[in-house]
Amino acid sequence: MKPIHESPAPTDDFDIVPHTSSPEFTTQHPLTRAFDKFASLVTRWAGTPLAFCLAVATVAAWVITGPLFHYSDGWQLVINTGTTIVTFLMVFLIQQSQNKDSVAVHLKLNELLASHRAANNHLIGIEDATEEELRRLALAYLRLATKNPKDEDINRAAANAKACSEERTGA
């Protein structure tokens, strides 16, 4: 039995993570949940020595059968078509797993920033900043990395982080 109306997740107001990548979406949609499990399984398996050996064996079998098929166009088409299809499908599976890993890493980093008193909390969610904002922040933090950062450099880095945060949140 389906609930009549489900309240929005507390994270829906922030628009930090795409809706389809949120844990709430994955648990509510069986197709998405199945795809997530399948993508995780395939990407883990694809990185194993067994998968690599299977790929090498496939290419070796194809090369060995070359003389049998007189190196025909059909023989070449088999490997070209097979590798194209596998590559095309793996792109989506790997991207889904990469998106999930990226969200997890950002959440862990946000937790570390939020838990450390001296950390600049304005950097939480910085992955949504524009490239220009990120370049400006990187320059400010590079100045801080010098041996003797000046107080004005520290204040500039904090101000840039706060400005980027306010631009993203509209505050």
User: 37-51, 99-113, 120-134: which has the minimum mean pLDDT?
Assistant: 120-134
Q: Which tokens in the block code for residue 35? A: 């795809």
Tell me the C-alpha distance between 27 and 62, whole Å: 42
Does 19 reside within a domain?
Answer: no
Over residues 83-91, the mean pLDDT reads 96
Decide if 136 is inside a domain: yes
Judgement on whether residues 94 and 47 belong to the same structural domain of the protein: yes
> Is 22 domain-assigned?
no
pTM: 0.59
- Pick the most confident of 50-54, 141-145, 147-151: 50-54
Answer yes or no: are the C-beta atoms of 167 and 159 closer than 8 Å.
no
CB 128 within 8 A of CB 168: yes
Residue 144 domain boundaries? 120-171
Looking at residue 24, what is its pLDDT? 52
Same domain for 85 and 141, yes or no, is: no
54 with 102, same domain: the answer is yes
Same domain, 101 and 152: no
Tokens 């450099």 belong to 153
Any domain includes 171? yes
Considering the domain architecture, whether residues 131 and 150 belong to the same structural domain is answered as yes
Q: Are residues 83 and 101 in the same domain?
A: yes
Q: pLDDT at residue 32 above 50? A: yes
Q: How far apart are CA 128 and CA 131, in angstroms?
A: 9
Query: Which whole number is the average pLDDT over 98-106?
Result: 86
Last residue of a domain, one of 117, 132, 158: 117
Structural domain includes residue 82: yes
What's the mean pLDDT in 26-34?
75
pLDDT at 70: 94
Statement to judge: residues 100 and 129 lie in one domain? no
Same domain, 112 and 152: no
Answer whether 99's CB lies under 8 Å from 91's CB: no
Residue 18 in this model has a pLDDT that exceeds 50: no
**Distance, C-alpha 14 to centroid of its chain:** 19
Please report whether residue 32 resides in a domain: no
Phi/psi of residue 57, each to 5°? -65, -40
